[in-house]
Structure formats: structure tokens, C-alpha cells
């Protein structure tokens, strides 16, 4: 299919027609991504076509070395920035971005602590062998059972999110005769330049305490035995590029920190995460080293103005650690040129996944990019929209991208920068099974999270006494999608 001269008029303003629709933008793809002599995309030295043949599609692919390198770089950046002011910095990996036992091992081996947000995430971190003392526990509605388990295992810190949680946790530690370090989550009132659903520090939302209400909450914590108040926490949002929001938030927190120090020392100031990455070639996130220097300098300056010592700092990056390391592979099923009322044409490219494996475009209007992975093409680029197989018009994988005009059924399509909040937000919508996650390192690929099968989906259906006919389709790859054992008897609630 040749390019339509009207394509440019329906493209978003930020999207430029590429000189080469086969090129790989370095900021978006893993460092080890390249094309081989035949034009096939290689990830970690392995042809994407070989990954499809072995594991099938859709397929989450994550470059282990990329994750490790990002973890080291981030830790080094914040430690160096803090050291300039004579304090220390701890970096927690935000597990909500993408969590598995393997990922926990990678980041902890590189020196990061881990932030968890549920009993399930806590269980994964513990199963991976993480030191409980180097775990932080978040969440606006932690259950009593989750808090009990956290205290039982000796979790390093719990971030308090409500007055009710203060009382719940105090009762638990009193009953156990324990002491628990806690921080208080505060909304700084800074409006981050991001999607409304990603902004988390404005006052009218579910997380944390306002600057006005925080002192009373801290006073209550200090009244109760067993809770050790160690500092404040703030998280202004996600996918933030500039430093201004972080610096303004730091200034407001230091003001509150100074006020609360009158009641006792506060050794920690946790400024959260939210550091953005590039999803498209026009995204220009601030380098992590520059962010670290700017935030640390802002805290130091505010502390100096108030005549108080600078606290140790803590940060919680997630996307910045795993986002760029991930690539999702899809197979094209159909293509459809759609004539619009304006006279323009848009090429719809349907793939074998969609919002069940990447909900971010539907949730946040997130932008991604894509490339044909199985070959290159000299055909003129066409403005395309990559869509999924689900029963929703909002089931969009890539809203706008220039792909070679001859993109066809059977082509392998790669979407980069899917390491964060894709696997984590995956669902079984339309009873589609979630894909496996394959890690790459040293030219080898291995499954770190197996894919689901129809057996898995049927096994939870209480109307079935056994799993019937859970066979894979003839000829389909099965590695990473192992068949579950057949149920032998009805599973009933007790």
C-alpha cells in the first residue's frame, strides 16, 4: 500500500514522518536492540523472529542487563548527589512498575531496596529472598492482614496513609510487642505536568495527608507506643520530565519537616519517584543525574534557609529502572485502510494482543511507538494505528505511528518501552490469557513468568469439576506457556 498524501493531516502535531520507518530511536529502545544483516530486529543478540518461534506472541521481553544498568546508574546518581551535601540516599525500586522474583533479585543485587504496595507484592519480594528490613510498604488501604504480615516479617518501614491506618497499625504492634518505623505520606499540593490519573500530590485525591492535616497525624503517631516516626514521604506523580515539580515539592516538604523536627528528630525525607522515560522519539526526559542533583540541591538549600540539618534522602523509581528494558512482540493479524470523513486515510493494524497486555493507552492515553521486527521495508511510510483484538474501540496499542505501507498479516511487530506498567496492569479481558515474560542475558532467553493457558482460566471457574480440553492449538509454541495440571476434583470454598 502506498502512502496517502493526506496522511500528514491526521497525524498528531508531535509525530514527524520519518526518513526511515525501520530506524530504532536510541532513547526508546534497549541499548542492545539492533537490526541484523537481514533487517530482523535483534534483542539482546537474539533475533525477534527466533523469540516468536520459541515462545509465541504476544510476548513480553525484558533485557536483564538493561535493568541492572539502570538500577546502578540511578543508585549512583542519587548517592553522589546526596553525598555532596554530607547525607546518604536510599533508592527503593517501585515494585508496582513490574514485579517478579527475578526482577527483585536483579535490583537488590545492584543495591536497591524494594517498595511494595500489597500483600501479594510483599510475598513476591520475600519469595525472592529480599531482606525485609530493606522493604518499604505503601498503599492507601492496607488490610489488617497485610499490616500483620508486614510487622511479622520485620518490614523496614510502612508509609502511613490515613488516621485509621495509624490506629490499626498501632494496635498490631502493641499486640505483638513490636516497634515499627513509619513515614507519613503527604500531598505537597504540587500539580505535576502529567496525566490527571498519574498526578498524585494534588489535594483532591485519595493518597496521603494535606500539608494542613499532616501535623495532627504526626502528633497522633507520636502519642502511640510502638510506632517510630522517621520522616515524611511524598510522590507527586508519574512520567514527569522536568525538575521544577520535584524541587517545589521538596521545598514544601522541608518546610513541614522543619516544623515537625521540634517534636523529635526526623532522619529521612522520601521524595518518591515518577521520573519519566522516553516512549517516543520526541520525548525528552531529564537525565537521572541532573534530576538527582537538582532535587538534592533544593532540599539542601531549603534546610539551610531554615537552619536545620539536611535529612537523609530516599527515592522510589520504578519506570526509570525497567521501562526501557521491555519490548512487547506481537504478530499482525489484519490491516485495514480506513477512509475518514475528512478525506484522509488511516491504516489500522490489528495485532494478537492489546489492552489486556498493555492497558496504558486506554487508561492514560499513553503514547508508544512501533517497528516491524521481522524485516525492513523501502515502501513509503503510512500513518498507522496499532490496535488490539479486544471488544473495545479504545483498545489501542499505538495511537499514531508511521509504519511501512506494506505492513502485512504475519509481520512481527515490536513495541518498545513496555517494561513498566504493562505486565503489572495486564488482565484477562475477553478471557485472553496473559503472555509470558522472557528475560534476555548473554545471548540466552529464559522464561521468568510463565504465560497463562486456557487451563489456567478455566481452573478458577467453580462450575467446572475438571479442566476439559485445555490443549494448545496444534503447532503453537508452548515454551513459557506450560499446561496446568488437570483438576481432579471440585474446588470449593470453606
- Nine cell digits for residue 43: 534483542
Measured CA to CA, the distance from residue 471 to residue 465 in angstroms comes to 17
Lookup result for grid cell 532535587: 295
pLDDT of residue 471: 46
Measured CA to CA, the distance from residue 116 to residue 87 in angstroms comes to 25
Lookup result for grid cell 502511640: 224
Measured from the Cβ of residue 428, the count of other Cβ atoms closer than 10 Å reads 13
Q: In what order do the strands lie in the sheet with 41-43?
A: 34-35, 41-43, 46-47
Q: What is the pLDDT of residues 97-116, one digit of tens each?
A: 999 999 999 999 999 999 99
**Residues 298 and 61 sit within 8 Å (Cβ to Cβ):** no
Model confidence, pTM? 0.90
pLDDT of residue 241: 77
pLDDT of residue 61: 99
Over 305-319, what HEC string results? HHCCCCCEEEECCCH
Residue 391 among the catalytic residues: yes
**Residues 349 and 413 sit within 8 Å (Cβ to Cβ):** yes
The list of the chain residues with pLDDT below 50 reads 1-8, 194-201, 465, 467, 470-474, 484-494
- Of the candidates 331, 343, 442, 316, the residue with the CA atom closest to the CA atom of residue 389: 331
- Of the candidates 349, 345, 346, the residue with the CA atom closest to the CA atom of residue 335: 349
pLDDT of residue 480: 72
CA distances from 246 to 115, 237, 399 (A): 19, 10, 29
Question: Is it true that the peptide bond before 58 is cis, omega within 30 degrees of 0?
Answer: yes
Topology classification of domain 84-322: TIM Barrel (3.20.20)
CA 49 to chain centre: 26
> Which phi and psi (to 5°) does residue 347 adopt?
-95, 115
- Of the candidates 109, 164, 32, the residue with the CA atom closest to the CA atom of residue 41: 32
List residues bridging with 327 in a β-sheet.
61, 416
- 7-63+324-444 and 84-322: identical CATH topology: no
Measured CA to CA, the distance from residue 160 to residue 166 in angstroms comes to 7
Measured CA to CA, the distance from residue 86 to residue 312 in angstroms comes to 9
Q: Please report, for the chain, the start and end positions of each structural domain, with discontinuous segments joined by +.
A: 7-63+324-444, 84-322, 453-494
Catalytic residue from among 117, 234, 303, 391: 391
pLDDT of residue 494: 35
pLDDT of residue 67: 99
Over the chain, what HEC string results? CCCCCCHHHHCCCCCCCCCCCCCCCCCCCCCCCEECCCCCEEECCEEHHHHHHHHCCCEEEEEHHHHHHHHHHHHHHHHHHHHCCCCCEEEEEEHHHCCCHHHHHHHHHCCCEEEECCHHHHHHHHHCCCCHHHEEECCCCCCHHHHHHHHHHCCCEEEECCHHHHHHHHHHHHHHCCCEEEEEEEECCCCCCCCHHHECCCCCCCCCEECCCHHHHHHHHHHCCCEEEEEEECCCECCECCCHHHHHHHHHHHHHHHHHHHHCCCCEEECCCCECCCCCCCCCCCCHHHHHHHHHHHHHHHHHHHCCCCCEEEECCCHHHHCCCEEEEEEEEEEEEEECCCCCEEEEEEECCCCCCCCHHHHHCCCCCCEECCCCCCCCEEEEEEECCCCCCCCEEEEEEEEECCCCCCCEEEEECCCCCCCCCCCCHHHCCCCCEEEEECCEEEEEECCCCHHHHHHCCCCCCCCCCCCCCCCCCCCCCCCCCCCCCCCCCC
pLDDT of residue 478: 60
- Nine cell digits for residue 70: 539502570
Measured from the Cβ of residue 220, the count of other Cβ atoms closer than 10 Å reads 16
Superfamily of domain 7-63+324-444: Lyase, Ornithine Decarboxylase; Chain A, domain 1 (2.40.37.10)
Lookup result for grid cell 517478579: 100
Amino acid at each position: 500500500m502506498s502512502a496517502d498524501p493526506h496522511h500528514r493531516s491526521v497525524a498528531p502535531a508531535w509525530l514527524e514522518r520519518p526518513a526511515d520507518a525501520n530506524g530504532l530511536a536510541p532513547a526508546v529502545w534497549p541499548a542492545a536492540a539492533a537490526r541484523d544483516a537481514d533487517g530482523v530486529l535483534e534483542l539482546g543478540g537474539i533475533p525477534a523472529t527466533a523469540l516468536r518461534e520459541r515462545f509465541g506472541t504476544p510476548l513480553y521481553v525484558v533485557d536483564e542487563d538493561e535493568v541492572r544498568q539502570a538500577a546502578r546508574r540511578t543508585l549512583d546518581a542519587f548517592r553522589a548527589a546526596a553525598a555532596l551535601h554530607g547525607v546518604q540516599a536510599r533508592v527503593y525500586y517501585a515494585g508496582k512498575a513490574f514485579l517478579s522474583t527475578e526482577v527483585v533479585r536483579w535490583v537488590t543485587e545492584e543495591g536497591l531496596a524494594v517498595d511494595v504496595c500489597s500483600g501479594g507484592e510483599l510475598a513476591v519480594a520475600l519469595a525472592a529472598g529480599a531482606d525485609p528490613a530493606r522493604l518499604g510498604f505503601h498503599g492507601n488501604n492496607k488490610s489488617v492482614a497485610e499490616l500483620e504480615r508486614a510487622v511479622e516479617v520485620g518490614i523496614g518501614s510502612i508509609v502511613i496513609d490515613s488516621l485509621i491506618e495509624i490506629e490499626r497499625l498501632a494496635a498490631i504492634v502493641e499486640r505483638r510487642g513490636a516497634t515499627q518505623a513509619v513515614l507519613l505520606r503527604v500531598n505537597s499540593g504540587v500539580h505535576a505536568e502529567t496525566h490527571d490519573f498519574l498526578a498524585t500530590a494534588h489535594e483532591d485525591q485519595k493518597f496521603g495527608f494535606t500539608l494542613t492535616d499532616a501535623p495532627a497525624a504526626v502528633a497522633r503517631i507520636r502519642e502511640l507506643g510502638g510506632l517510630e516516626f522517621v520522616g515524611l514521604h511524598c510522590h507527586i506523580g508519574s512520567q514527569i520530565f522536568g525538575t521544577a515539580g520535584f524541587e517545589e515539592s521538596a521545598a514544601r516538604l522541608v518546610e513541614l519537616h522543619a516544623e515537625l523536627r521540634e517534636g523529635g528528630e526526623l532522619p529521612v525525607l522520601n521524595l518518591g519517584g515518577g521520573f519519566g522515560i522516553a516512549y517516543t522519539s520526541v520525548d525528552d526526559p531529564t537525565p537521572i543525574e541532573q534530576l538527582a542533583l537538582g532535587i538534592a540541591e533544593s532540599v539542601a538549600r531549603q534546610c539551610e534557609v531554615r537552619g536545620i540539618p539536611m535529612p537523609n534522602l530516599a527515592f522510589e523509581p520504578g519506570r526509570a529502572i525497567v521501562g526501557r528494558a521491555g519490548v512487547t512482540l506481537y504478530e499482525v493479524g489484519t490491516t485495514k485502510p480506513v477512509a475518514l470523513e475528512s478525506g484522509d486515510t488511516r491504516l489500522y493494524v490489528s495485532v494478537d494482543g492489546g489492552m489486556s497486555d498493555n492497558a496504558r493507552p486506554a487508561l492514560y492515553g499513553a503514547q508508544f511507538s512501533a517497528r516491524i521486527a521481522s524485516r525492513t521495508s523501502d515502501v513509503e511510510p503510512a500513518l498507522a494505528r496499532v490496535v488490539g483484538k479486544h471488544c473495545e474501540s479504545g483498545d489501542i496499542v499505538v495511537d499514531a505511528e508511521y509504519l511501512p505501507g506494506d505492513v502485512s498479516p504475519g509481520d512481527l511487530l515490536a513495541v518498545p518501552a513496555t517494561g513498566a506498567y504493562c505486565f503489572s496492569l495486564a488482565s484477562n479481558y475477553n478471557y485472553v490469557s496473559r503472555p509470558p515474560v522472557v528475560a534476555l542475558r548473554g545471548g540466552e532467553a529464559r522464561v521468568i513468568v510463565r504465560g497463562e493457558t486456557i487451563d489456567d482460566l478455566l481452573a478458577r471457574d467453580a462450575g467446572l469439576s475438571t479442566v476439559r480440553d485445555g490443549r494448545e492449538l496444534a503447532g503453537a509454541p508452548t515454551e513459557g506457556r506450560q499446561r496446568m495440571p488437570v483438576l481432579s476434583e471440585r474446588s470449593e470454598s470453606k
